[in-house]
Amino acid sequence: MSAFAKDFSKAMSQAGTSQFQEVIRQELEYSMKVELDKILATAPSNELEHTKNDLEGFKKLFHRFLQEKGPSVDWGKIQRPPEDSIQPYEKIKARGLPDNIASVLNKLVVVKLNGGLGTSMGCKGPKSLIGVRNENTFLDLTVQQIEHLNKSYNTDVPLVLMNSFNTDDDTKKILQKYSHSRVKIYTFNQSRYPRINKETLLPIAKDVSYSGENTECWYPPGHGDIYASFYNSGLLDNLIAEGKEYIFVSNIDNLGATVDLYILNHLMNPPNGKRCEFVMEVTNKTRADVKGGTLTQYENKLRLVEIAQVPKAHVDEFKSVSKFKIFNTNNLWIALSAIKRLQEKNAIDMEIIVNPKTLDGGLNIIQLETAVGAAIKSFENSLGINVPRSRFLPVKTTSDLLLVMSNLYSLNAGSLTMSEKREFPTVPLVKLGSSFTKVQDYLRRFESIPDMLELDHLTVSGDVTFGKNVSLKGTVIIIANHGDRIDIPAGALLENKIVSGNLRILDH
């Protein structure tokens, strides 16, 4: 066969493959449309409009999912961001604050991502309702912070909660307790998307209901859904009409994400006269953060790259603290007018995160999700600000909970700050074993929270309990072997100690 014939034959077979793939894609999209139409037909009239919006949004996401192939970034194009695209926080703080900071604050809306449940910490209901400090929940602390701002500056900064169908009812019930606080609270709901069977790529739901055994058929599609659902709720337009200009978005379980007046001033009164539409707070990586998304320069735009997007051969390079020194805290400041403009043009581009899960019955499904920070590349004049680590204080586990409940932090008007009595500003490394995973078990094992002001590292494994007024200093490792139990006695001081074996303290 001539070289030409070989090339022609190869080109034809490739064309055949791509045509075949296109036919398969079209068939999948058609089957999906048929199934979604069946589901929509079961919606009661009061839910019809809402369900239609959700399923339309899902259809767009599914279409993009079928179009995309392989990792969504070309590793060769990834560059370090230019120096001026990530500003040090100190430089922004050094500008000081104007006299009219109250009028600047009145342009702000605080948005908290409140879609998550407390299941990973063994709690039922919304995670934001878990008690974290002196009986205060995440939501209590958030309301206290904003109320303190409004009272101090005589302003009207509202709080907006993005709930999911998992958290909406419980959150709304609890909001009544804040009716006399000086914070207007609004809510809107994330979309509700159907989970799809990994094999057939069709929804596992047969109708719109999401209670009882149908709970597992639906999911909230990640916090990237904020743009569409905020816009569709009508709340975005209402806030713009009230003269609001920026939202400060963060996870409700990040206790470090408080309103920062210096960053807000930088947004409203930029030194070069050109406003940023999107600011992402980043902070320096430690070994604990190697999986966090990082800001890069990609095709002349700032771009968030998550570990799931990285080709396998480059994962170790991505995790390297020396090449990618910062990670995304998910504290974001975004211009409302820009969200409206981009949403109306359907121009917000976020990579799809494919999240595989196995349901209780063993069925393998996938969820298609997006992340709020991934939209940074769609906005004009985006900026990263390298903030102190104290602005990233997430509570994901009971190990984190122990830190924020301890005397390492003091609480003032809903804000936690590192105690002045701690000589160095780093947070100790705490690893509590599986006996402490659930909040109720964790609380049962500590008669009172130990003094941790001089602690560097704590590892606890097995059946361990702590008496009252225990002091932990330096590196403390406590390991109860299987079948053994260790009771740390009341008033004990453990400094650079390893405790293992069996230590029972019995009442007589």
The answer to whether 222 is annotated as binding is yes
Distance of CA 379 to the CA centre of its chain: 20
Query: Which backbone phi and psi does 47 adopt, to 5 degrees?
Result: -110, 0
164-186 burial code (b ≥16 CB/10 A, e <16): bbbbbebbeebbeebeebbbebe
E strands of 22-114, at which residues? 86-88, 108-114
134 CB burial (10 A radius; 0-12, 13-18, 19+): exposed
124 is in an annotated binding site: no
How many beta carbons lie within 10 A of that of residue 232, not counting itself? 20
Query: Does 396 belong to an annotated binding site?
Result: yes
Q: Which amino acid is at 467?
A: G
Q: In one letter, which amino acid is 62?
A: F
Contact 178, 185 (CB under 8 A): yes
396 a catalytic residue: yes
Is 190 annotated as belonging to a binding site?
Answer: yes
Distance, in Å, from the CA atom of 498 to the CA atom of 500, rounded to the nearest integer, reads 7
Selecting among 396, 438, 473, 497, the annotated active-site residue is 396
Q: Which residues pair with 249 in a beta bridge?
A: 111, 332
Backbone dihedral region of 135: left (phi > 0), alpha (psi from -120 to 50 degrees) or beta? Answer: left
Cα distance between residue 489 and residue 422, in whole Å: 24
Strand partners, 396: none
411 three-state secondary structure: strand
CB 281 within 8 A of CB 387: yes
**Strand ranges in 71-225 using DSSP code E only, listed in sequence order:** 86-88, 108-114, 131-133, 136-137, 159-163, 185-189, 193-194, 196-197, 218-219
Comparing CA positions, the residue from 81, 85, 87, 88 lying closest to residue 323 is 81
SS3 call for 332 = strand
Task: Summarize the annotated binding site for UTP as residue ranges.
Answer: 127, 190, 222, 253, 396
Task: Summarize the annotated binding site for substrate as residue ranges.
Answer: 223
Task: Summarize the annotated binding site as residue ranges.
Answer: 127, 190, 222-223, 253, 396
Catalytic residues: 396
